[in-house]
Amino acid sequence: MTKKKQTAKISLAQFVAIIVLSISIFLIIDLGRRAAANYQVQREEERLSQEVEIAQRYRQELLAHRTYVASDLYVEEMARRELKWARPGEVVVVVMPTPEAASQLPRQNPQTVEAGPIAHTPVEAWWLLFFGKETFPRYTRATP
């Protein structure tokens, strides 16, 4: 008597089932990866579209500001405010505190605010305006 080794035989149906199951697992994993990647792409798209909207609003503000800066109204405003110019026939008034009013101002803490020199005459005010407090002449005025 010959002993035959018994080998486990797999039927064709079982073999096909194993192959189909393997392919199904692979496809499910691939589908999950693609869904996660798609979710990330959508979030990035939303973020970028918000950035584009913000940039477009900023661009519109800049265009409006450029239009305003190119207008005669802006030129006149800057001439009046920054350069203290006036139109022909207008009078520019410069209000300066008197020495009495300057002495009545509330005293500030000298540690927090550096007090500059006080102009007592228009000449001193112009000197401070053009040359600054560093070159302000340190002399005492004779009081009448």
pLDDT bracket for residue 101 (50, 70, 90): low
Q: Please, are residues 136 and 117 in contact by the beta-carbon 8 Å criterion?
A: yes
90-129 in b/e form (b: 16+ CB < 10 A) is: eeeeeeeeeeeeeeeeeeeeeeeeeeeeebeeeebeebbe
Give the range with max mean pLDDT: 31-40, 76-85, 87-96, 104-113. Answer: 31-40
Cβ neighbours of residue 85 under 8 Å, at least 6 residues apart? 79, 92
- Residue 109 pLDDT > 50: yes
Mean pLDDT of the chain: 81
- Domain spans of the chain? 12-75, 94-144
Q: Cα torsion for 50, 56, 61, 66, to the nearest 10°?
A: 150
The model's pLDDT over 118-142, given as tens digits with 9 standing for 90+, comes to 766 777 777 777 777 666 565 545 5
Rounded CA-CA distance 68/54 in Å is: 21
Q: What is the pLDDT of residue 80?
A: 83
Q: Is the pTM of this model over 0.85?
A: no
Q: What is the pLDDT of residue 31?
A: 96
Give the range with max mean pLDDT: 52-56, 68-72, 93-97, 126-130. Answer: 52-56
Q: 129 vs 51, which has greater pLDDT?
A: 51
- Residue 1 pLDDT > 60: no
